[in-house]
Amino acid sequence: MFSRRETDGIAAHRTVHPMARRRRSGRLIPLGGVGEIGKNSLLLEYAGRRLLIDAGVMFPEEELHGVDLVIPDFTHLYQHPERLDAILLTHAHEDHVGALPYLLKGLGRRVRIYGLRLTIGLIEPKLREHGVLRFAELISVSGSDRLNLGPFHVSFVPVSHSVPDSAAIVVGTPVGTLFFTGDFKFDQTAPDQTRTDLNRLRAIGDEGILLLLSDCVRVERPGITPPERVVAEALDGIVRQASGRVIMTTFASNVIRLQQAIEIACRYGRKVAVVGRSMEENLRVAADLHYLHLPPGTLATIEELKRLPPKEVMILTTGSQGEPTSVLSRIAMGDHPMLRVIPGDTVVISATPIPGNEETVTRTIDNLMRRGANVLYPPIVPDIHVSGHASRDELAALLRLLRPRYAMPVHGEFRMMVHYRNLAGESGVPAERIVFADVGDVIDFGDERVVRNGRVAAGSVLVDGLTVGGVNQIVLRDRRHLAADGVVICAVAVDRETGRLVSGPETTARGFIAPSASSVLEESAARVRRALERRPEGEVEIGYLKGKIKDVLAHAIYTRTRLRPMILPVVTEI
């Protein structure tokens, strides 16, 4: 499947970047994921050829009202779509693959996409759903394959993480080897195929690594991250003692944990229903590819479960982040068509909120408790969730196994990168050989050196519903005003000929809450009337009138209330 040498030979006389030939160095450009959490994407260039590692999304912060997703700005790639040889995926989490559909649409050409088997299996339905499958040549690889992609020699190294088939990626180039950890932890008690192989890492280190790019998101945590096994033990205890139904939520991609939950249900004579689109789909893919083993007769529909006593029921659902449309949120709101909380229910939230989701998660917990559920979540039951990322001691151990000449912290915010630099200093890589990069920075590597050298176009693109990059600052500002200060509508009627005010202004407000709001509005309307009456008679220019009304009203409201509601002037000509 991977005899690509021939085709690569033919492609070798493709345009070679003259600078690259002269310098004999490669370039590494983070398009996202450094100094921030999310939208992980790293571009590798050598002799005018390119490889992209991951293309992830970031979930928008509160300030970006109504924006669905934030993706990397791929302008630099779009300028020469033909140079991109392949996309390599470390694993199927959204912060690593979520931007793929948008990237493929933007490239407008077919690209080879490599990943371990389940990674490819999980992204395929997503690409199909976005209608971009025709742009993707999906290629499943195993941990023992070696790929020759132009000047790059690539291998995938399976690592432990919270979705099976996560990988680190080793890329050999003519000027040095780079090691990308992806998201990982060591978890030496994990089953074979999901366990980080420390001996293999040491062997890779023996061959010499120029630059290690390391996940650093948990560098603030001392010690090592607990293994996934502790979750199974905690869950076993909960299910054993629960006298009613058990409703559990976790990340829909955490197939390992879902497998454990199903086994535990089976152990205590419970049948399991899976509710929630993403979870159902992931489990279907995982079962098809034999990553999930369902004891016969364990799965059932909600309807079938209704006929069983509560003690024989487990329900697995989406909603671990309190997403408003998820099954768990709807159960919490009493708004799900098939599921309601019944007394004696135990709800297990096997996740911690991703930063930014704390409020929606705690609201969901409150609402579930209001309806009488016993809700268990971390830290109330600390072991009911463990992270998929390496803590401090594991990060240090990785540095000692690989012994890279240079190291670059990725997948973390600035303070984490600083902590990583300190840690690396204690683990054999001195501070001057730790590379700090911003999104869009160009990092030159080669000749035993790694240096920052210039920048390319990069940053964030906001995805709003079906449009990409269509949300500009004005829309965001409007949404901010609407959310914070509400809206004031001001209607006037003017004479078509003279422009004289015939009726109004009439003001209506929504979401505008201020002490004595109605008197503020009345007084502001009076000001608008005076301003319009002062206006000399003449032809009506609607745009001008609207602008005038907006200015006067905004000023009047702001001076009294310090609020800036959105103002919608409505001018009717009579």
Residues belonging to the active site: 215, 389
Number of residues that bind Zn ion (CB under 5 A): 3
Q: How far is the CB of 93 from Zn ion (least distance, A)?
A: 4
Q: What are phi and psi of 271, to 5 degrees?
A: -95, 155
- Looking at beta carbons only, is 182 or 486 nearer to Zn ion? 182
- Looking at beta carbons only, is 74 or 180 nearer to Zn ion? 180
- Candidates 166, 185, 165; CA nearest to 226 is 185
- Looking at beta carbons only, is 38 or 569 nearer to Zn ion? 38
CB 198 within 8 A of CB 186: yes
What residues contact residue 330 under an 8 Å CB cut-off, 6+ apart?
A: 319, 336, 339
Q: Does 218 help bind Zn ion (rule: CB under 5 A)?
A: no
Q: How far apart are CA 427 and CA 246, in angstroms?
A: 45
Q: How far apart are CA 409 and CA 421, in angstroms?
A: 8
- Looking at beta carbons only, is 95 or 444 nearer to Zn ion? 95
Q: Does 93 help bind Zn ion (rule: CB under 5 A)?
A: yes
- Looking at beta carbons only, is 73 or 95 nearer to Zn ion? 95
Q: How far is the CB of 270 from Zn ion (least distance, A)?
A: 29
Q: How far is the CB of 483 from Zn ion (least distance, A)?
A: 29
- Looking at beta carbons only, is 92 or 567 nearer to Zn ion? 92
Q: Binding marks (x or -) toward Zn ion, 180..199, rule CB under 5 A?
A: ---x----------------
Locate all alpha helices (DSSP H) within 207-356, ordered by sequence.
Answer: 229-241, 255-267, 277-288, 302-306, 327-332
- Looking at beta carbons only, is 59 or 114 nearer to Zn ion? 59
Cα dihedral sign for 189, 191, 195, 198?
Answer: positive
Q: How far apart are CA 419 and CA 217, in angstroms?
A: 10
Strands 346-349 and 246-249: parallel
Range in contact with Zn ion (rule: CB under 5 A) among 12-20, 92-100, 150-158, 462-470: 92-100
Concatenating the DSSP letter of every residue in 344-391 gives T-EEEE-S-PPTT-HHHHHHHHHHHHHTT-EEE-TTTSGGG---SS--
Range in contact with Zn ion (rule: CB under 5 A) among 89-97, 123-131, 365-373, 533-541: 89-97
Q: How far is the CB of 182 from Zn ion (least distance, A)?
A: 8
Cis peptide upstream of residue 505 (ω within 30 degrees of 0): yes
- Looking at beta carbons only, is 410 or 490 nearer to Zn ion? 410
Q: How far is the CB of 161 from Zn ion (least distance, A)?
A: 6
What residues contact residue 217 under an 8 Å CB cut-off, 6+ apart?
A: 37, 183, 389, 411, 412, 416
Q: Hey, which residues between 300 and 319 contact Zn ion (CB under 5 A)? A: none
Q: Binding marks (x or -) toward Zn ion, 343..382, rule CB under 5 A?
A: ----------------------------------------
Cα dihedral sign for 89, 90, 92, 96?
Answer: negative
CB 485 within 8 A of CB 566: yes
Q: Does 54 help bind Zn ion (rule: CB under 5 A)?
A: no
Q: Hey, which residues between 164 and 183 contact Zn ion (CB under 5 A)? A: 183
Angstrom distances, CA of residue 285 to CA of 131, 295, 381? 19, 16, 30
Concatenating the DSSP letter of every residue in 145-183 gives -EEEETTEEEEEEEEB-SSSSEEEEEEEETTEEEEE--S
Q: How far apart are CA 56 and CA 92, in angstroms?
A: 10
Q: How far is the CB of 493 from Zn ion (least distance, A)?
A: 57
Strand order in the sheet with 374-376: 271-275, 313-317, 246-249, 346-349, 374-376
CB atoms within 10 A of CB 393: 15
Q: How far is the CB of 215 from Zn ion (least distance, A)?
A: 7
Cα dihedral sign for 200, 201, 202, 207?
Answer: positive
Rule CB under 5 A: choose which of 85, 95, 323, 464 binds Zn ion: 95
- Candidates 86, 108, 113, 85; CA nearest to 11 is 85
Q: How far is the CB of 95 from Zn ion (least distance, A)?
A: 4
- Looking at beta carbons only, is 93 or 479 nearer to Zn ion? 93
Range in contact with Zn ion (rule: CB under 5 A) among 93-101, 122-130, 427-435, 473-481: 93-101
Q: How far is the CB of 33 from Zn ion (least distance, A)?
A: 8
Size (the chain), residues: 574
- Looking at beta carbons only, is 254 or 329 nearer to Zn ion? 254
Q: How far is the CB of 559 from Zn ion (least distance, A)?
A: 48
Range in contact with Zn ion (rule: CB under 5 A) among 69-77, 91-99, 322-330, 433-441: 91-99
Q: How far apart are CA 489 and CA 203, in angstroms?
A: 69
CB 236 within 8 A of CB 384: no
Q: Binding marks (x or -) toward Zn ion, 450..479, rule CB under 5 A?
A: ------------------------------
Range in contact with Zn ion (rule: CB under 5 A) among 59-67, 90-98, 296-304, 516-524: 90-98
Range in contact with Zn ion (rule: CB under 5 A) among 95-103, 235-243, 425-433, 515-523: 95-103
For the chain, the C-alpha Rg in angstroms (whole number) is: 28
Q: Which residues bind Zn ion (CB under 5 A)?
A: 93, 95, 183
